[in-house]
Structure 1
Amino acid sequence: MTDQADKTSPEQTEDTGPGPVGTDRRHGYVLDEQIGYLLRKAYQRNAVLFGDKVKDLTPTQFAVMARLTELGSVSQNQLGRTVGLDVATTKGVVDRLSAQGLLSSERDPNDRRRQLISLTDKGWSHFVTNAEVGLEVSAETLAPLTASEQRNLLRILKKIQ
């Protein structure tokens, strides 16, 4: 048997032993079974579906607008926290949506250092126009699951946040 044959023999590609040159599966880590990887892949699918239907907003921008419909006028910091964004990303999203005329900001009368962010009339209208599309994208993302699986998935995801 040659060295090359030894490197790729079936015995060496089992999950419990070395695989082809440069691989070793004895560590037990299988990427396709990792929650972070699977969540990212599911999110990517959702983002593609969203992008196919909504050309002028990213899913993150849409999420910020959705949160503002729920909270009204809030500080940029609070807005970012409630959508799960870091400070720099929140600022970028707010700046881009403001440049499109979809958000406005004003000084907080109770704390002059803080800016309060809210949807403009144009922002409200734009969100309402796309809200049904957002629901369709969620339905398409979850379509491979039964209704019961969909409810369970959402319940479990909320639990592990």
Structure 2
Amino acid sequence: MKEELIDDKICKFTDCLEALMMKMQEADNTCVELSKDISKRDFAVLIFVGKNHDVIMRDIAMYLGIPVSTTTGVIDKLVEKGYLKRYHSKEDRRTIKIGLSKFGLDSYNLLQSTLHHMGGAMLAGLSEKEQTELIHLMERVAANLVNYVPTAK
């Protein structure tokens, strides 16, 4: 009986997450459609660079979960399209940093604005206390997944 209740909670929770992810994908798709020339993975890179500012190739590779050699191709295309820029670190001229170009910053801001509006809509029906609790719980849920590796069972 107890196991059935846990399974029911897991199903309800994953159903809610799936609905949220579908709406998040709609927001991503809207931004991708506006730009016409970059993929969702490219937007993921723009978000990462925008949030973390000047990063190195290894940071992006770790974030995407792909080899640095593959990341180089992704970054090359985004530099060529004018979204990103490469430059030498002021601290160590041997280190190449990646940052948003003006055009990349505009695209990043568009996506952030879209997500901000969506976040506002999600929190709108909740009291301030409920909003704080939800954010706290979501942070804990996200922390639970730090070392999670999906497996097919």
TM-score, normalised to structure 2, is 0.59
Counterpart amino acid of residue 64 in structure 2: L
Greater helix proportion: 2
Q: Which residue of 1 aligns with 2:24?
A: 46
Give the CA deviation at 1:94.
3.3
Deviations 1:19-77 (A, max 9, x none): xxxxxx97x74562455x64344222211133235522566544533443343321122
Q: Which runs of 5+ in 1 are unaligned?
A: 1-14, 17-24
Structure number with greater CO (CA < 8 Å, separation at least 6) is 2
TM-score, normalised to structure 1, is 0.56
Give the CA deviation at 1:95.
4.5
Give 3-state SS (helix, strand or coil) of 2:136's partner: helix
Give the CA deviation at 1:132.
2.2
Identity %, equivalent residues: 16
Q: Which residue of 1 aligns with 2:11?
A: 32
Counting only pairs closer than 5 Å after superposition, residues 7-156 of structure 1 correspond to structure 2 as 29-30=7-8, 32-33=11-12, 35=14, 38-52=16-30, 54-55=32-33, 56=35, 61-81=42-62, 84-88=63-67, 91=71, 94-106=75-87, 110=92, 112=94, 115-140=96-121, 142=122, 145-148=125-128, 149-156=130-137
The number of residue pairs the alignment matches comes to: 133
Distance 2:74 2:13 in 1: 29
> Does structure 2 retain, via aligned residues, the 8 Å contact 1:101–1:120?
yes
Give the CA deviation at 1:119.
0.8
Give the CA deviation at 1:101.
1.1
Give 3-state SS (helix, strand or coil) of 2:97's partner: strand
Q: Which has the larger radius of gyration?
A: 1
Distance 2:40 2:24 in 1: 9
Runs of 4+ in 1 over 6 A off after TM superposition: none
